[in-house]
Amino acid sequence: MKKIIAPCVALLAFAGMANLAAAADVVGNAKAAENKIAMCVGCHAIGGYKSAFPEVYKVPMIGGQSEKYIENALKAYKKGDRNHPSMRGIASSLSDQDIADVAAYYSQQK
From the centroid of its chain, how far is CA 29?
13
Residues present in the chain in total: 110
- In percent, the amount of the chain with pLDDT more than 70 equals 77
> Per mean pLDDT, which range of 15-19, 62-66, 103-107 is the poorest?
15-19
- Give the helix/strand (H/E) hosting 40: helix 38-44
Does CATH place domain 26-107 in 1.10.760.10?
yes
List Cβ neighbours of 30 (8 Å cut-off, separation of 6 or more).
101, 104, 105, 107, 108
pLDDT at residue number 47: 82
Buried b or exposed e, range 78-88, using 16+ CB within 10 angstroms: beeeeebeebb
- pLDDT (tens digit, 9 = 90+) per residue, 72-90? 999 999 999 998 999 999 9
List Cβ neighbours of 24 (8 Å cut-off, separation of 6 or more).
none
pLDDT (mean) for 56-66:
90
Evaluate the CA torsion angle 16, 17, 19, 24 in order and state its sign.
positive
pTM above 0.85, yes or no: no
- pLDDT (tens digit, 9 = 90+) per residue, 15-50? 554 444 445 679 999 999 999 999 898 888 888 888
